[in-house]
Structure 1
Amino acid sequence: MGWFGHSNKTFSFSMFSDSHLAILAIFIFVNAAIFIHRRKLSDEKWRKAELLTAFSLILIELLNHYWMYSHGVWMLGRSMPLELCNLGLLLAIGLLLTRKKIFFELLFFIALLGATQAILTPALTYDFPHFRFFHFFYAHLMIVWVTLYFTLAKGYYPTLASVLKVILFINLLLPAILFINKTADGNYWFLRHKPDSPSFMDLLGPYPWYIFSLESLLICSSLFTWLCLRLWLRGEKKSSYSET
């Protein structure tokens, strides 16, 4: 039925298939390019590109909901933009449109810890060249690239307070997500069961203990990421002083 069609047999996704490996190669290449060209990307001329990226993310997300509705698979318990990466996408759009740091602070850890994991171990049904394949990877890749762009090129850095904000943000949303899961028979944030496809959650123990493992992992990995970035920034400052 074409790239926007519904055929599951034609577009069945397999982890670490050729299409997935190609995406991972693009992911690594663009990450490196953002780092290498971070000073050039700091120029204000890239503002138009920021806005165009925001509108492209809005468009592809609207198309995704249209696809789900038109194929009769939109469901209250699984189609609302409530997954962490969905929230990350909304935060990325807000950051691109407004450049407000609060969006960055919440996005930083969701992007680098959540979206990156989703890219490595996708919970995805459709393979290349289906629309859902493009939507999934475009959205998740952009979440990470927007975060790296604002960190490396625009000088937005998370603080220790940012770690506390994202932990508070997630835990304040948790009761609402649990309520929606119960009333709409959903599995947002994988709080009722693990993903059907293989993921790192398989290493975190059985239900419900993997939820507590995820909470501990969020706190530890956020603190570790913040500390690593802080040490890298110190090294950057020392090298800039030595150059002058």
Structure 2
Amino acid sequence: MTTLERQSVFSQEIVASQSRPEWLQTVSRLTKTFGFTHTTLMKVPTQGDDLLAPVVLETTVPVNFIRSVDQHRKLPDCPILAKIANSSMPQYWCFEDDIPVPPYSAELKNLMVQYGLVSGVIAPINCLNGRRYVLRFEGDSPKPSQNVLNELGIVAIHAFDVYDRIRKAELVAPKTLTKREIEVIRWTSHGKTSSEIGQILSLSDHTINAYLNNAIKKLDCVNRTQLVAKAIRLKVIS
């Protein structure tokens, strides 16, 4: 398959997305096609941003990684984002190849390695409202060719356009979570199972699962991991 043919297929798959969870599943699948493991759509942090969760829009990175970064407020220590500060082109990074200035803090680097984030491509996106975003493709992959870097840049721009369209189409405000649903999400964010939460709240596993499933539907998520991440981003829980 030629590059143009592959881009055409990718475009059709992305355009077919009807919701943000479906969009994330599609982009995640495309990410793996390029040899990477995780994908993240996020706002480019501005001066004063020191938490990762509020700037992440969608991600397949485990929520525990985000929580660990924010627990120690390590977002400002990340020199990866500096690579796109003055560039509109996709940028490749790798712990083995790059010695950024300033360098990664040992704590942040160890955390990223722990979650398999040792290389990646960051594709900057300029929104019409002037805000800058990036679509990150990360994992453990060798440096792609310039043609592939260019292709990832095109995929990122197209994927963001579709995501923005989906987001604007969400005219109906999300249904309000109940106090109990928020409580169950909070315990889930602490790593508790349905059984453990049930014991804490004196409820059955079935009831806990029902609360979680209702919350997943209300926040338009696909699983508990995304539910917790979105709840943190929306400041439903802290």
> TM-score normalised to the size of structure 2?
0.24
1 or 2, which has the higher helix percentage? 1
Higher RCO (C-alpha 8 Å, min separation 6): 1
1 or 2, which has the higher strand percentage? 2
